[in-house]
């Protein structure tokens, strides 16, 4: 049996009781082995076997509109379903109905219940019933009439019992290959489940236009990719979301500035009133901010209030790897200067300098609070690059017969160097930085338990100490134009021993112009810093012109890359004037003036 749901509405619309009975019969008689070939015509044997190993047919769904709960229980009983099943709130369908009918979601009390159905094969499945109560004379009657006609929420569903990321990618790839299109989805915190909706292929023979893939648990990454694919097919919505991106930046910055994440729990929801009193905010305004942040996945909302998600915990001040300083920096001075991007595009001049009347080095150096904030943002950024501690060059240095020395040039407050020394007790360190940063670095490395293995040198790039075994430039070169990059690299080439290695950490532009955070940071560097991101071959050229040889590259998290270089046989020692230090952060470090 295949359900009679049509791709176009019919003039005769079955009532809720008839549609419910048909859906129950469908669930009893079907299974994944028979449904998948109907859903995806052209599915070959290996693909079918892979899908059957990955997921199972779990339910078919429909939306009904009982006059009251008593009427709903009677319909369930008539179909042999348990009338005592307790409905739960349905977040995803409520949002879809609100968007489709231009209604406030708060007006729509959409519920979901899943009575059990025993399949003809003996498997336990369910009928997923969405309900929206529409009493006689209700203004929601037009919604019910439209939804019965079009059956937008009717779908069949497959559950992935063990949602492995690799298996999920394969599943989505097979669906896309056979013509299924992303059609929205969401996370339901009431039942801790993620749903991915697809439009069935045009040649599907299963009788349903929509397919759900259900994933137990919260899978924000998979959901975000799926929704991005869906929105790409909605150009007006996509453009509107892009145009309002600045709102997200400010909302996150204010969320962090008021320390709201520190007052929230990740498991138990807290009311907006309680949070407002805790952080000294207006209750209604804070509630509206949190409601917006829920659409970004930073918090989760339910009838008890708001709770912090895994994403939101990164904005806690005391969270390991806290990105709170970055939120304040991107929502502060860099947000202000980005408003002058047009000046940069028209003139080629840095918008930050145009707005503040001085370059970022001098501006940060004049404001102790901004300087401290930037140093903290550098530390937050350095935590993102933990895998650098296992890079083969670092590992080789740490296993050498004699202790080796790592020189971190413009290493900020020592967060990255501390990670390297902590991971490898046989390594010693040298940190080259500005005077006030050196003091912060001493405290940071001492707290990490490796201060005794580190020396500190105040100076600029002309003062890079000789004799090191491994030199690190972490997000330094992207602050400068090509001429200054060559000067920095020539200073290193002059002092590096023949056996020494150089690791350059940057966000490298992709060779094929594929999406990458490096592309975004390239615009940021142009507008706010006067620097740029580069491709691998560009860096290789700069290294060669400075007397260094590019060896290889390895990926790091967040679209970063570590470039490995060594000293060329012929050394370049042409040294122009000194340069202020900067680097090891998401944006330029305030530096010393050139001497």
Residues marked active site are found at: 478
Cross-strand bridge partners of residue 62: 129
C-alpha distances out from residue 40 to 29, 36, 155, Å: 19, 6, 15
Chain position carrying tokens 């008689």:
29
Cross-strand bridge partners of residue 133: none
C-alpha distances out from residue 475 to 169, 349, 383, Å: 32, 21, 13
Reported as half-sphere exposure (CB side, CA atoms, 13 A), residue 288 has a value of 5
Task: Identify each DSSP E strand in 436-480 by its residue range.
Answer: 454-458, 470-474
Chain mean position to CA 130: 31
- Torsions phi, psi for 302 (to 5 deg): -150, -175
- Torsions phi, psi for 502 (to 5 deg): -120, 130
- The span from the CA of 527 to the CA of 521, in Å, is 10
Look at residue 116 and give its three-state secondary structure: strand
| DSSP secondary structure, 285-332, as one string | HHHHHHHHHHHHTSEEEETTEEEE-HHHHTTSTTSTT--HHHHHHHTT
Chain position carrying tokens 């070959």:
44
Say if CB 546 and CB 493 are below 8 A apart.
yes
Cross-strand bridge partners of residue 387: none
- The span from the CA of 37 to the CA of 22, in Å, is 21
Strands 116-118 and 124-132: antiparallel
**What number of other Cβ atoms are within 10 A of residue 8's Cβ?**
6
- The span from the CA of 405 to the CA of 426, in Å, is 9
- Exposed/middle/buried for 383, CB within 10 Å: 0-12, 13-18, 19+? middle
> In 449-591, where does DSSP find H-type helix?
482-495, 517-524, 536-545
- The span from the CA of 429 to the CA of 448, in Å, is 13
Cross-strand bridge partners of residue 455: 430
Strands 454-458 and 470-474: unpaired
How far apart, in Å, do the first and last CA atoms of the chain sit? 84
| Token digits of residue 536 | 């691998």
């Amino acid at each position: 049996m295949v359900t009679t749901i049509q791709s176009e509405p019919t003039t005769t619309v079955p009532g809720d009781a008839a549609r419910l009975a048909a859906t129950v019969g469908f669930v009893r008689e079907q299974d994944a082995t028979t449904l998948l070939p109907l859903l995806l015509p052209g599915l070959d044997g290996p693909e079918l076997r892979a899908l059957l190993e990955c997921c199972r047919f779990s339910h078919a769904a429909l939306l009904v509109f009982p006059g009251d709960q008593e009427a709903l229980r009677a319909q369930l009983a008539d179909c042999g379903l348990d009338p005592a099943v307790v409905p739960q709130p349905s977040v995803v369908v409520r949002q879809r109905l609100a968007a489709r009918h231009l209604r406030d979601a708060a007006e729509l009390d959409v519920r979901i219940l899943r009575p059990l159905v025993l399949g003809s094969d003996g498997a336990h499945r369910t009928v997923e019933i969405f309900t929206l109560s529409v009493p006689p004379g209700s203004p929601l009657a037009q919604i019910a009439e439209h939804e019965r006609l079009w059956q937008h929420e009717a779908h069949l569903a497959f559950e992935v019992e063990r949602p492995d990321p690799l298996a999920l990618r394969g599943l989505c790839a097979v669906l896309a290959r056979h013509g299924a299109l992303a059609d929205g989805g969401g996370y339901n915190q009431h039942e801790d489940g993620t749903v991915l909706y697809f439009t069935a292929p045009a040649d599907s023979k299963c009788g349903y236009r929509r397919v759900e893939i259900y994933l137990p648990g919260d899978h924000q990454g998979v959901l975000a990719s799926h929704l991005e694919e869906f929105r790409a097919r909605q150009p007006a919505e996509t453009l509107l979301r892009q145009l309002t991106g600045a709102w997200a930046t400010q909302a996150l910055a204010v969320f962090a500035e008021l320390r709201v994440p520190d007052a929230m729990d990740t498991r138990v929801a807290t009311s907006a009133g309680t949070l407002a009193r805790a952080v000294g905010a207006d209750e209604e305004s804070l509630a509206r901010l949190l409601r917006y942040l829920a659409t970004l996945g930073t918090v989760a909302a339910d009838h008890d209030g708001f709770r912090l998600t895994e994403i939101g915990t990164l904005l806690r001040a005391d969270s390991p790897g806290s990105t709170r300083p970055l939120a304040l920096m991107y929502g502060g001075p860099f947000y202000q200067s980005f408003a002058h991007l047009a000046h940069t595009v028209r003139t080629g001049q840095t918008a930050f300098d145009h707005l503040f009347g001085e370059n970022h080095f001098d501006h940060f150096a004049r404001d102790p609070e901004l300087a401290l904030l930037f140093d903290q943002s550098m530390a937050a950024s350095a935590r993102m690059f933990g895998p650098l501690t296992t890079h083969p060059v670092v590992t080789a240095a740490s296993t050498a017969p004699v202790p080796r020395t790592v020189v971190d040039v413009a290493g900020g407050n020592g967060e990255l160097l501390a990670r390297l020394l902590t991971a490898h007790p046989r390594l010693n360190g040298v940190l080259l930085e500005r005077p006030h940063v050196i003091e912060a670095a001493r405290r940071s490395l001492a707290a990490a338990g490796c201060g005794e293995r580190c020396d500190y040198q105040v100076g600029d790039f002309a003062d890079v100490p000789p004799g090191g075994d491994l030199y690190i430039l972490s997000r330094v070169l992207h602050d400068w134009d090509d001429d200054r990059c060559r000067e920095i690299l020539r200073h290193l080439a002059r002092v590096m021993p023949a056996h020494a290695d150089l690791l350059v950490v940057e966000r490298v532009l992709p060779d094929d112009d594929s999406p990458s955070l490096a592309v975004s940071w390239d615009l940021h560097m142009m507008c706010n810093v006067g620097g740029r991101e580069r491709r691998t071959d560009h860096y290789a050229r700069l290294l060669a012109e400075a007397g260094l040889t590019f060896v290889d590259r390895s990926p790091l998290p967040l679209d970063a890359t570590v470039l490995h270089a060594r000293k060329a046989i012929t050394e370049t020692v042409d040294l122009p004037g000194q340069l202020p230090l900067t680097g090891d952060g998401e944006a330029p470090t305030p530096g010393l003036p050139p001497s």
